[in-house]
Amino acid sequence: MRILLTGATGFIGRAVAQALEQRGHVVVRVQRSAGPPGQAVVQADYAQVPSRDWWLPRLAGIDAAVNAVGILREQGGQTFHALHAEAPGELFRACVAAGVGTVVQVSALGADEGARSGYHLSKKAADDVLRTLPLRGAIVQPSLVYGPGGSSTTLFNKLAVAPLLPFPQGGRMLVQPVHIDDVVQGIVRLLESPPRGIETLAFAGPRPMALRDYLGDLREALGESRRQWIVPMPAPLFRLGAAIAGHLPGSMLDAETADMLLAGNATDDNGLVGLLPQAPRPPREFIRPQASEAARREAVLDLWLPVLRIALALMWIWTAIVSFGLYPVRDSYELLARVGLHGMPAALALYGSAVLDLLLGVLTLTAPARWRRRVWLAQFALVAGYTALVTLFLPEYWLHPYGPISKNLPILATILLLWGLEPRRA
């Protein structure tokens, strides 16, 4: 078959494309950027809502279509209404006009009459359009999908490796996570043997479970002890924290996703049972043993690197505050005199370095990604310079029992780690 696939660069879309091509199907990817040579690509921006008339010539020769476009949070011009509701609706109507007989819509568990969030309501809007059309296929509604490269996978792995986790309801809300391989296998089966009309199928794991138990299964799969200290916290406090997190770049959590998490995500009618030749994979088997250690290390880095970055920023900012006068200025000038600085040069050195420390602290928290490698290098140079000067002029500080200079060594190592982990830009 020749299959049109939207959202081809996304988590589910990439996996669907790979599975279909492995089975000999031709996949026409719909994406915003051009593909590599030899790959069939239709360039389109769902945020601009391509019309059904625009789609018609591009659906010539297409046997089936899969809509796998989805965003968890609205950002910039990407809105739920455009990407989840309007654009898919136009595609579905164009499929009818172009004679594309089969359509599979990747929706979400919870996109039903009880939907309250903008995410679920927009998914439901497209689902409702598809149900009215004379097509074959299905609306698949996955629960929490786990698999390599998934943003929710990254989130839950981080939560799993945290030694302490404050969570509403003590983490007892019900979820029913499903592995990406089972979701993809179900979609492929629906494309190759479509229902006579449009069926709505929940895609979920083998059974509902408390979120804390899901994290326990992930901890064991990652090679950690199952025991995790989950501290109950008031739901309003959780929502407040989520609302604040929603203003941070790259955060998956905001007020709406917090409400979705609190509501749980489970079903009594799992469409994967009976569709697949095997039972859905349980969470304790989500991570292959050979991949466990690499996944654990990645999760630990994802969890603690932001903490490390904040700690380093606070160190620079606190050093600046101390230098501005919290530490006796006279004592600071005495130390500078031993380095050979007096009068105006000493004042410039003291307050200039304080301003530089403050600037580095602020940049550690706010610098855009394209600047951060330079920020780490500047910090490394400054700490190394301080260390060299003290070694030359105040060598006795190496013998101080509190280690004011020897502690620079782990700080230098920390800065190098942060520098090395920054993605290299072309």
pLDDT tens profile 76-125: 788 999 999 999 999 999 999 999 999 999 999 999 998 888 999 999 99
CA count, 13 A, side-chain hemisphere, 128? 12
Structure tokens belonging to residue 15: 């996996």
- Residues with Cβ within 8 Å of residue 92, at least 6 apart in sequence: 67, 103, 105, 126, 129, 130, 133, 135
What are the angstrom distances between the C-alpha of 51 and each of 44, 65, 135? 11, 16, 19
Query: pLDDT confidence of 249, banded at 50, 70, 90?
Result: low
Q: Which residues pair with 66 in a beta bridge?
A: 5, 104
CA distance 284 to 217: 5
- Amino acid identity of residue 263, one-letter, is A
The pair of three-digit structure tokens given for residue 198, joined into one six-digit string: 């449009």
- The tens digit of pLDDT for each residue in 274-327 reads 899 999 999 999 999 999 999 999 999 999 998 999 999 999 999 999 999 888
Tokens 């991949």 belong to which residue? 291
CA distance linking residue 80 with residue 83, whole number of Å? 5
- Count of C-beta atoms within a 10 Å radius of residue 371: 13
Query: Average model confidence (pLDDT) for the chain?
Result: 92
**Rounded average pLDDT over 349-363:** 94
Domain limits, CATH 3.40.50.720, in the chain: 2-145+174-208+265-286
Distance CA 38, CA 29 (A): 12
Work out the percent of the chain whose per-residue pLDDT is above 70: 98
**Tens-digit pLDDT profile for residues 225-247:** 998 999 999 988 888 888 887 77
Alpha-carbon gap, residue 41 to 58, rounded angstroms? 10
Q: What is the pLDDT of residue 241?
A: 84
| pLDDT at position 426 over 60 | no
What would the pLDDT profile of 200-218 be if each residue is shown by its tens digit?
999 999 999 999 999 999 9
The closest alpha carbon to 300, from 417, 180, 205, 213, belongs to: 417
* Least reliable range by pLDDT among 253-267, 382-396, 412-426: 253-267
Query: How much is the pTM?
Result: 0.87
Q: Which two tokens stand for residue 342?
A: 């007096």
> What residues does 276 pair with on adjacent strands?
273
- In the prediction, which pLDDT does 243 show? 83
Percent of the chain with pLDDT over 90: 75
Q: What is the pLDDT of residue 250?
A: 64
CATH 3.40.1390.10 describes domain 2-145+174-208+265-286: no
